[in-house]
Amino acid sequence: MHESTFKSLQEVFGLQRVTEKTVTVSAEEAKQPQETLQELIAEMRAVLQKFEHALGNVISSSASRAEQAQALVPTQSERSREISLVRSLDSPFGLARDDRGVIDGVFDGKQMVADDGTLYPVPENYASKSKLLEGDLLQLVKTPDGRNYFKQTSRVPRRIKQARLVHIEASHGFVRTDDGGSYQILLAPLRFFRVNPGEQLTIEVPETGGVWAAVVGKIESWYTSQTYAGT
């Protein structure tokens, strides 16, 4: 029975085969089963201690190698900085062109100008509802079916002013502010608010100056104003 117990322990722990001890049961030894059992237990204890020591060394070595490998892997912030650096080197204006069809550019009042000088017309309805101004940063996403989607990613500092619509041309309107400034505005907000020459508007203009203004709303004669829904 003692031999079978020892072999079972060997199979569970995957140890190398230990030299089996042949127990010859003599009449004298048969009288001392307790001593034989104690010897066997002592042998098992010694074997287990060696196994635990070897297993501990393996675990410690694996953990050390894992820590060393982790130290070689760049963090997410480091990867982001590397990507930004590569993009800034590729573009003289710090604007990026993504291989997946995403292009960054600057709004010039009517269009988005990419870093390579390519012009992308921005829908007037989107530009008007987003109140885009010269200098705002945009991102263009080109879909596989050829459609373009724009997203405003940064806004220049702006000021709110009151202005009067002077006249309307085929491509844009002209307004003059109370302080004497003149700006061009898109036709989409004029159609939306049904603004006629001589009527007053609330507009946004770049804080540092510019050619184009964004329409916030129409100042009604009864001192109420309209604005785009959701703005």
pLDDT tens sequence across 132-152:
999 999 999 988 887 888 999
Environment class of 168 (CB within 10 Å of its CB; exposed 0-12, middle 13-18, buried 19+)? middle
Mean pLDDT, rounded, for 102-120: 92
Which CATH architecture fits 158-227?
Beta Barrel (2.40)
The predicted-structure confidence for 168-213, as pLDDT tens digits, reads as follows: 999 999 999 988 899 999 999 999 999 999 999 999 999 998 999 9
Q: Of 92-96, 106-110, 115-119, give the lowest mean pLDDT range.
A: 92-96
State the Cα–Cα distance between residues 11 and 153, nearest whole angstrom. 65
The C-alpha torsion from 90 through 91 and 95 to 98, rounded to 10°, is -40
pLDDT at 41: 79
Q: Please, which pLDDT band fits residue 224 given cuts at 50, 70 and 90?
A: very low
- Copy the structure tokens of residue 211: 């050619």
- Copy the structure tokens of residue 224: 């109420």
Which of 94, 170, 103, 160 shows the shortest CA–CA distance to 131?
A: 160
Mean pLDDT, rounded, for 107-128: 92
pLDDT at 44: 79
pLDDT at 150: 92
pLDDT at 21: 46
Mean pLDDT, rounded, for 30-43: 69
State the Cα–Cα distance between residues 192 and 187, nearest whole angstrom. 9
Residues forming a β-bridge with 151: 139
